[in-house]
Structure 1
Amino acid sequence: MEMNEITVDNETMAHIAIFEKIARIELMECVENEDMILFVVGEHKMAEMFRKNKEVISQLKEKINKHILVAEVSRDLLTFVRNIFFRYGVNEIQISWKNNRTDIVVGVKPEEIGKVIGKEGKNIKLFKDAVSRYFNVNSISVKQ
């Protein structure tokens, strides 16, 4: 998988250290905004993480004081998108490849749309940033 170059600030470095200490697995990616932090772990690592520490999410939330989302990476775009949006009741993912563009529309439970989009679109941007670190994606939007 091709990864884009990113810069990590001290706060993110601290969050990575907290994650690895609590989850006891290696972290692949950490993307965050003011309200949420998305930790991306390796393929098939979620089960291992919960086996090692069933309280991992609540402990992370307590230490970091943000909404916590953990998703497994995948070499497959559809699977990776589903993993990121899993918590929001994904019922459909449409990926279109046209004119050198990759656009994704994710269908989620109606009551989850606000959470997916986030204040001023911050969460959907965060999800797009995470996906874009592994895949060349032009847009991600959400629908019910």
Structure 2
Amino acid sequence: MANIKLTVEEMKYMALLQDLTGAVARDCIIDNENNRIIFIVRPGDAGKAIGRRGANINKLRRLLGKEIEVIEHADDLEAMVKNIFAPARVLGIRLAQRNGRKILYVTVDPNDKGRAIGKGGRKVNIARLVLKRYFDIDDIKIR
């Protein structure tokens, strides 16, 4: 797993998440390009971070003025991919090396393909950021 260094800003956001929700954040990725913050939380803490009917996430959104994403952490690649693309059903993954680049092929249930890609490719962009940081994967293809 990658050796991740957090900035002061990221640590502040992680502390805010924990204070507001009680969920423990393991990592925080600030995506200024898409005005979004991605929290990687301890396994089992996603529900606590989101809150009943999304109350905690909505409160954080209003407070920070940014989109908020919550993903449960997993140590192995397949489990992390499933957590990122939830609720889409991931049927399998395959890692390939092409021209010195790591490309991850994710096979999803055909009924969930749109959900896995996300509006405007939102989910895939999140997956690229997270998987690059944790597993040094250069690109993701959804099948």
Tell me, yes or no, whether TM beats 0.5: yes
**Residue in 2 that maps onto 1:67:** 67
- Is the Cα–Cα contact under 8 Å of residues 117 and 142 in structure 1 kept in the other structure? no
**Residue in 2 that maps onto 1:80:** 80
Could you report, residue by residue, the CA deviation over 1:14-47 in whole angstroms, capped at 9, with x for unpaired residues? 3222212112122111112232221101122224
1:91 Cα deviation after fit: 4.7
Report matched runs for 1:88-103 at 5 Å.
Answer: 89-98=88-97, 102-103=102-103
Does residue 114 of structure 2 align to residue 110 of structure 1?
A: yes
Mark the CA change 1:31 to 1:109 in structure 2 (over 3 Å): closer, same or farther: same
Mark the CA change 1:50 to 1:133 in structure 2 (over 3 Å): closer, same or farther: closer
Mark the CA change 1:46 to 1:29 in structure 2 (over 3 Å): closer, same or farther: same
1:142 Cα deviation after fit: 3.6
Look up the SS of the partner of 1:78 in the other structure: helix
With normalisation by structure 1, the TM-score equals 0.71
With normalisation by structure 2, the TM-score equals 0.71
% identical aligned pairs: 22
**Residue in 2 that maps onto 1:20:** 18
- Is the Cα–Cα contact under 8 Å of residues 113 and 142 in structure 2 kept in the other structure? no
Structure 1 residue runs without a partner (length 5+):
none
Distance 2:12 2:49 in 1: 21
- Is the Cα–Cα contact under 8 Å of residues 31 and 126 in structure 1 kept in the other structure? no
Could you report, residue by residue, the CA deviation over 1:71-96 in whole angstroms, capped at 9, with x for unpaired residues? 11111211101111215x34544322
Structure 2 residue runs without a partner (length 5+):
none
Look up the SS of the partner of 1:109 in the other structure: helix
| C-alpha RMSD over aligned residues | 3.0
Distance 2:125 2:59 in 1: 25
